Amino acid sequence: MNQTTIKDSCMLNKGVGLHSGQNTALYFYPAPEDHGIVFFRSDKNVHIPANYRYSIPSALCTTIEDQGVQVTTIEHLLSVCNGLGIDNLLIELNAEEVPIMDGSGFEFYQVLKKAGLRQLNSSKKVIKIHEPISYQQDDITIFVTPSDNSSFTFSIDFDHVQIGQQEYSFVLTEKNYLDEIVNAKTFGFKKDYDTHKKKGLIKGGNETNAIILNEKGDFENPEVLTWLNEPNLHKILDQVGDFYLADNLRIKGTVFSHKSGHSSHLNFIRYMMDECPDKYSVVADI
Closest CA to 185 of 14, 63, 10, 18: 18
Say whether 262 is catalytic.
yes
Would you call 191 exposed, middle or buried from its count of C-beta atoms within 10 A (0-12, 13-18, 19+)? exposed
Taking the CA atoms of 239, 19, 179 and 168 in sequence, report the sign of the dihedral they define.
positive
Cα distance between residue 141 and residue 286, in whole Å:
30
Q: Residues near 179 by Cβ (< 8 Å), separated by ≥ 6?
A: none
Distance separating alpha carbons of residues 132 and 149, to the nearest angstrom: 15
CA 205 to the chain's CA centroid? 18
Catalytic residue among 19, 76, 234, 262: 262
Kindly give, in sequence order, each residue whose CB lies less than 8 Å from that of residue 58, ignoring residues fewer than 6 positions away.
72, 262
Q: Which residues are catalytic?
A: 262
